[in-house]
Amino acid sequence: MSFIFDTTKKIVSQLPSGVSLVAATKTRVVAEIEEAIAAGVAAIGENYVQEAQEKFSVIGNKVKWHLIGHLQKNKAKFAVKVFDMIETLDSVELAGALNKECKKINKIMPVLIEVNSACEPQKAGVLPDRVQDLLCGVACFGNIKVMGLMTMGPLMDEPEVMRPFFKKTKEIFDAIRADYPSNEEWKYLSMGMSDSYKIAIEEGANIVRVGTAIFGRR
């Protein structure tokens, strides 16, 4: 059996119940992704719309497709056709573009708000204290539903350094849940990558995005 198949099996089998894996597949070819799917991957995360379109045309919708990279408004039209979830909502303008394109194809798109939890300049996502504003700003869009938060955290050699940023994102997630207790759609917290997903799960993540630990070094 192959490396990818074995590593995927191991990771999937060790996830606590209620936590789902998104295999981060940027730069990976279809044959590699198919091995991961054979081993139990049910969702894959792509960073670029065009790369996802190409793979989608071969793999199709036997898996869920998550967009985990930054999305430009002018790509919304193509993104809504491929993806089952957009994890990187970071502006009202982008939400508006997604809403418009989803309406055209009669789709309601699950989205997560990306939080720039370490408040790093030049980094994608909204600052922690702007999450509520964005949530209010998109409330009128009937063709997207905001289902939670995603964060990258600062990229560090020592994954333990990321823990406070996961904690902080969980706090924002919980505060919003407390504000809208009847919103049963508010349920996803996407945090953690190959080096940090175990820490992220300890801090409340229920979606983890793992690439290198499945496929090897890019």
Using a 10 angstrom Cβ sphere, with 0-12 exposed, 13-18 middle and 19 or more buried, the burial of residue 50 is exposed
Tell me if 47 contacts ligand PLP by CB under 6 A.
yes
Tell me if 212 contacts ligand PLP by CB under 6 A.
yes
| Count of other CB atoms within 10 angstroms of residue 100 | 15
Q: Which of 194, 203, 205, 206 binds ligand PLP (CB under 6 A)?
A: 194
Tell me if 26 contacts ligand PLP by CB under 6 A.
yes
Instruction: Choose between 6 and 179: whose C-beta lies nearer to ligand PLP.
Output: 6
Q: Which of 152, 162, 176, 199 binds ligand PLP (CB under 6 A)?
A: 152
Tell me if 68 contacts ligand PLP by CB under 6 A.
yes
List all residues 6 or more positions away from 58 whose beta carbon is below 8 Å from its beta carbon: 30
Tell me if 207 contacts ligand PLP by CB under 6 A.
no
DSSP codes of every residue in 40-87: T--EEEES-HHHHHHHHHHHGGGSEEEE-S---GGGHHHHHHH-SEEE
Tell me if 193 contacts ligand PLP by CB under 6 A.
yes
Q: Are 69 and 47 in contact (CB under 8 A)?
A: yes
* Piece of 36-44, 128-136, 140-148, 207-215 that binds ligand PLP (CB under 6 A): 207-215
* Piece of 3-11, 104-112, 131-139, 205-213 that binds ligand PLP (CB under 6 A): 205-213
Tell me the CA distances in angstroms from 78 to 34, 40, 68, 113, one per residue in order: 23, 27, 15, 19
Q: How many residues in the shown chain lie near ligand PLP by CB under 6 A?
A: 13
**Interface residues toward ligand PLP, by CB under 6 A:** 24, 26, 47, 68-69, 152, 193-194, 209-213
